[in-house]
């Protein structure tokens, strides 16, 4: 099998990826690219990263056999990679530590981030506090309202949260605003992007920092089962937790990689956030070329998902590439299906999953049902659901 070695040196994954930014950002990205090249294989840097992942995040995150759930589904065995047990409650912290350590080495005293549900914002604020960096988080004004507890968490951690009032006032607008901040404060600021999107080297760098998920999973599955799973399932908004668990498996034959997008109210309604599954056209947004939900004039359309973390009109360029080369498959799960999986995991296994991860779970269950009990489905449980209890309560007409 040919060894997978992407992206190329210009950050292209086939026709996807690249560096589509205004000239004002080009030098900053080049500086970042060179610094990352310098440190990505540097033993001291990697040792510091590994130390923080172990002692600050609590890695390795365990793999858990959801036996009662598997029995209830009546098909393949469902295993969960427990990223929900990480410090701050999701996989996001892995990447923010990597980038913050880089920021420190680059002598940048200030970090900025965009956030949707607030998980990446919290993870950035957390590591900024730990390293003594100034932290500013951009968050769509709509999301600020919807995710009040995370906004407060960020403030507790000493970050400044700036509500973004432009455009649709959600994640994509927060990203635009963070880019504007970066271009203005380029000399002292490091932009910590939370997903495998953005201009090169971000998609590659974020993937590399998240790959710890897949690297651990491979070893843990070998130890627990003596073999690798038949399928690895992860949710995809921008796609960082999915890239993190997929990447180490790309060259492993016989392991299906399945990304689960948000079908929202249903693909047929147009009210979703599933550019890959809905065959959206290719376009350019946030510094990279990828599949993008857009209208016929090329304007980005508003997306919908019950889960703020999946509510994004594009997708990381490497997912676009993995789809095109048919190494990964992409499917979509509706709000209702995700909610069902959410409640089922709570009641069956005593784990409250994030709404994002509930999409992966829902599809994992669907898939497991078609398989035999001696087969294995590994679901990346990317985060815990404490942040979602208000959303769930509201859907059940309960006031907390």
Run of H or E residues at 259: strand 256-264
Q: Is 300 in the site for other proteins (CB under 8 A)?
A: yes
Closer CB to other proteins, 44 or 297, in the complex: 297
**Which residues of 160-255 form beta strands (DSSP E)?**
160-164, 189-191, 231-235
**Cα diameter, the chain:** 57
Active site residues: 92, 114, 382
Stretch that binds other proteins, among 20-28, 206-214, 238-246, 262-270 (CB under 8 A): 20-28
Residue identified by tokens 């920021």 is 103
Q: Is 194 in the site for other proteins (CB under 8 A)?
A: no
d(CA 274, CA 318): 15
Size of the site for other proteins (CB under 8 A): 37
**Please, which contacts does 216-225 make with residues 24 or more away whose CB atoms are closer than 8 Å?**
216/59, 216/60, 216/61, 216/81, 217/63, 217/81, 217/245, 217/248, 217/249, 217/378, 218/248, 218/249, 218/252, 220/60, 220/62, 220/63, 221/63, 221/79, 221/376, 221/378, 224/63, 224/65, 224/79, 225/376
Minimum distance, C-beta of residue 112 to other proteins, in the bound complex (Å): 14
Q: Is 188 in the site for other proteins (CB under 8 A)?
A: no
**Which member of 150, 294, 344, 391 binds other proteins (CB under 8 A)?**
294
Closer CB to other proteins, 259 or 287, in the complex: 287
Closer CB to other proteins, 35 or 183, in the complex: 183
**Which member of 272, 286, 323, 384 binds other proteins (CB under 8 A)?**
286
Q: Is 15 in the site for other proteins (CB under 8 A)?
A: no
Minimum distance, C-beta of residue 106 to other proteins, in the bound complex (Å): 15
Q: Is 19 in the site for other proteins (CB under 8 A)?
A: yes
Do β-strands 282-285 and 63-65 pair in parallel, antiparallel, or remain unpaired? unpaired
Q: Is 395 in the site for other proteins (CB under 8 A)?
A: no
**Which member of 47, 284, 393, 398 binds other proteins (CB under 8 A)?**
284
For Cα atoms 315, 3, 279, give the angle at the middle one, nearest 5 degrees: 25
Residue numbers of the site for other proteins (CB under 8 A)?
10, 18-24, 26-28, 166-167, 172-173, 176, 179-180, 183-187, 281-287, 292, 294, 296-300
């Amino acid at each position: 099998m040919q060894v997978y070695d992407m992206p190329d040196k210009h950050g292209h994954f086939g026709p996807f990826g690249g560096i589509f930014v205004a000239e004002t950002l080009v030098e900053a990205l080049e500086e970042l690219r060179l610094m990352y090249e310098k440190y990505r294989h540097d033993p001291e840097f990697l040792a510091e990263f590994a130390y923080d992942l172990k002692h600050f995040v609590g890695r390795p995150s365990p793999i858990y056999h959801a036996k009662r759930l598997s029995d209830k589904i009546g098909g393949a065995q469902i295993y969960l990679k427990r990223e929900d047990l990480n410090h701050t409650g999701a996989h996001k912290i892995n990447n923010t530590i990597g980038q913050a350590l880089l920021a420190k080495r680059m002598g940048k005293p200030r970090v900025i981030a965009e956030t949707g549900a607030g998980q990446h914002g919290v993870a950035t604020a957390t590591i900024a506090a730990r390293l003594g960096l100034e932290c500013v988080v951009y968050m769509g004004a709509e999301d600020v309202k919807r995710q009040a507890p995370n906004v407060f968490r960020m403030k507790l951690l000493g970050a400044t949260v700036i509500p973004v009032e432009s455009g649709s006032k959600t994640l994509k607008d927060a990203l635009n605003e963070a880019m504007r901040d970066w271009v203005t404060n380029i000399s002292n600021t490091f932009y910590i992007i939370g997903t495998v999107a953005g201009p090169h080297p971000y998609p590659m760098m974020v993937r590399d920092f998240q790959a710890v998920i897949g690297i651990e999973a491979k070893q843990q599955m070998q130890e627990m089962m003596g073999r690798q799973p038949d399928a690895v399932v992860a949710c995809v908004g921008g796609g960082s937790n999915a890239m993190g668990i997929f990447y180490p498996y790309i060259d492993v034959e016989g392991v299906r990689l399945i990304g689960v997008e948000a079908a929202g109210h249903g693909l047929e309604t147009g009210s979703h956030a599933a550019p890959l599954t809905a065959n959206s056209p290719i376009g350019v947004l946030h510094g990279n070329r990828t599949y993008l939900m857009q209208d016929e004039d090329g304007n980005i359309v508003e997306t919908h998902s019950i889960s703020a973390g999946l509510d994004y009109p594009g997708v990381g360029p490497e997912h676009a590439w993995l789809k095109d080369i048919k190494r990964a498959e992409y499917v979509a799960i509706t709000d209702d299906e995700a909610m069902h999986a959410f409640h089922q995991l709570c009641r069956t296994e005593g784990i409250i999953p994030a709404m994002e991860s509930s999409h992966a779970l829902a599809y994992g269950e669907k898939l497991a049902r078609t398989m035999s009990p001696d087969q294995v489905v590994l679901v990346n449980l990317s985060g815990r659901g404490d942040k979602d209890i208000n959303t769930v309560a509201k859907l059940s007409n309960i006031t907390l």
